[in-house]
Structure 1
Amino acid sequence: MTLALDRHGWLRPGPSVQCLRSPNSDARPAGAVVSLLVIHNISLPPNRFEGPCVADLFLNRLDYGSHPWLERLRGLRVSAHFFVRRDGSVLQFVSTEDRAWHAGVSQFRGRERCNDFSIGIEVEGADTVPYDDRQYGTLSRLASLLRSRYPLAHVRGHEHIAPGRKTDPGPAFDWRRFGHESGYARRSMPSF
């Protein structure tokens, strides 16, 4: 799979790439420099993969009555820049030039509001479920592409920027593998 960003921060659509515009985004603050990549995981309902619920959540069209667990998400307005499915395909919801609503209350190196200066990638998964090889391949290509456009000096999990509140991408995420395949230096990665 070849990934390319257009000048507006959108991936070029293709067989494994789909762009869907989420209303849950806004402009970054003036002068914001995108320097942090945040890795998340998501599955809706929890531990169920390959359905439409994640995209529907980010597009504000989730059918809360389709599963009892989903009712707790009613009124939630969230998004991420990218969603990497189990098969390695990518859905993009927010331009990389804009602020996605993925980090919530967060802090990195003394700076709050990580959404202002980060790009968020949701990986279809759960904290303790191994991720698919195809997901690591897509994550590596996507991280390399983003680093060629933005000065992404660090990558962290949601768990690192919102400790005690979030646990993703969890212990099943192989940080060493991601760092090796994506070319991130050890100093820019979380401690192992």
Structure 2
Amino acid sequence: MTQSTCSTPRLSPLNGKPVLLGFDGADMSSDAGLTLLREIERRAGLAQRLADCLHDPRDPAKVQHSLCDIIRFRIMMIAAGYEDGNDATALRYDPSFRIALERGPETEPALCSQPTISRMENLPDARALIRMGREMIRFYCQSFARAPSRIVRLHDTAVFGVAETGKRDSSGGLDLAKGTVP
């Protein structure tokens, strides 16, 4: 019998216990890749940076889920292909999502539900959205050894393919036109 030489990455412990990836056990989740994304988020802290841009109007004594945890859950959902916030209610018990949000897979309270996600998505006003946008640009620029000298903004986020027309817009940036979806 051939023995595998594939090694799994070291993952940060959860509540003092090791987190292990295995491909030979029972089906626990189809989203096990979130455990790797958890490591990236732990180092980068994007969810906390975005949460810091918001004012939380909730009574601190009644808060079950921090803004950071809600944003982190939403980021993980989108990364795993669940673009609709309605999926949160079912995913709040999923072991991979729970581990990705630093919760034990079975012991700690469930993650936030769809209504909580919806309230968070409707929370930012125009100024908060600008702060969040600026923070995302800072985050992006800090991912380079040397910050890029120019960032091209795409205003139509619904466009799947984008082709450069070669023309310059009034600010000197590239004029982008809709491309075709392959």
Same structural fold, with TM-score higher than 0.5 when normalized by the shorter chain: no
Higher relative contact order (CA 8 A, sep 6+): 1
Question: TM-score, normalized by length of structure 2?
Answer: 0.28
Between Structure 1 and Structure 2, the one with more helix by share is: 2
Between Structure 1 and Structure 2, the one with more strand by share is: 1
Question: TM-score, normalized by length of structure 1?
Answer: 0.27
